[in-house]
Structure formats: structure tokens, C-alpha cells
Amino acid sequence: MVYGGTLNGHRIVTEQWVTRATQPNTSANEKAYGFQWWLNAGDDQLRFPDLPSEAFIANGNRQQIVMVVPSQESVILRLGWTEGSYPVNDRFREILSKLSDGKNYAPLASLPGLDGLLNRQVALGNKVYHHLG
């Protein structure tokens, strides 16, 4: 999704599907929702006001999250478990800030099955975040 439906030069899903999945829908209900993705933009206000408007997320059980930010060629994955709410706006803003400052990038050791996909990581507190790109 971060590269418009392609991965390593191979089309995974059609451009039309990506466009429709990441555009606000025309229903009278939740407009900022498209094909299982919660869009940051589309309603009267941004879902996450401090994050890029084109960002979108898949939100799973107990706040497990995949956030895609095409303008920063970033995918952020949160596998944590939260019983209540989770500060997505604050935490992901901090992660994106660290990813964009360039200071904390480091080569990522080769991981079986992920060669070429994960190539940068950033430390934030006691956690390490990986950057696709």
C-alpha cells in the first residue's frame, strides 16, 4: 500500500483498488473508511490531527495497528496489547518525527524472508522501529 500496490516492482493489487481503498467513501456514515482501512482524512476533522492527512491504518484487536504514510514511504506496525485506548496520534507522530530526522537510521541486519524490505530502523526510548523503504 505504501507504494501504490506494488512491491519490489511487482504489482500486488490494482491501482484502481488502491485509489478506492484510500479515498473517503460516499456513504452517510463514516466517510473516512475505505476497504478495511481507516483513513486519516475524509470526515470533518482528521482522525489523527498531527499526522499526514493521507495516512491510513488497519486497526486490529487491542489496538494492534498498521499505519501507512505514503508521503514518508513509511509503514508503522504496532503489535502491542492495550486494554483501553492507545495514544496513536502522539506515539506515531513521535515515530514519524524520528524517522524523518535521519539521525537514528541504521542498517538493519538481514532477516529471513524480509531481505530488501526492511532497511532502516530507529530507536525511540527502549523500542526499535523499522522503516520500509
Give the chain's radius of gyration (CA, Å).
15
Pairwise CA distance, residues 67 & 62, whole Å = 15
Q: Which of 2-16, 67-81, 118-132 has the lowest mean pLDDT?
A: 118-132
Judge contact between 55 and 40, C-beta under 8 A.
yes
pTM above 0.85, yes or no: no
Do strands 127-132 and 56-59 pair parallel, antiparallel, or not at all (unpaired)?
A: unpaired
Sign of the C-alpha dihedral computed for residues 79, 56, 100 and 97 taken in this order: negative
* C-alpha–C-alpha distance, residues 86 and 111, integer Å: 29
For residue 64, pLDDT beyond 70 = yes
Alpha-carbon distances, residue 114 vs 72, 93, 107, 118, 119 (angstroms) = 20, 25, 13, 7, 9
pLDDT of residue 34: 80
Domain locations along the chain = 6-132
How far apart are the C-alpha atoms of 66 and 17, rounded to whole Å?
18
Task: Give me the pLDDT at residue 71, please.
Answer: 87
pLDDT in tens, 9-53: 889 889 998 888 888 888 877 888 888 888 999 888 999 999 999
Tens-place pLDDT, residues 96-123: 887 777 654 444 444 344 444 444 444 4
pLDDT of residue 127: 53
- The Cα–Cα gap between 107 and 20 comes to 35
The answer on pLDDT for 2 being more than 90 is no
Query: Is the pLDDT assigned to residue 54 strictly greater than 90?
Result: yes
**Is 2 within 8 Å of 132 (Cβ atoms)?**
yes
Cα–Cα dist 54/20, whole Å? 13
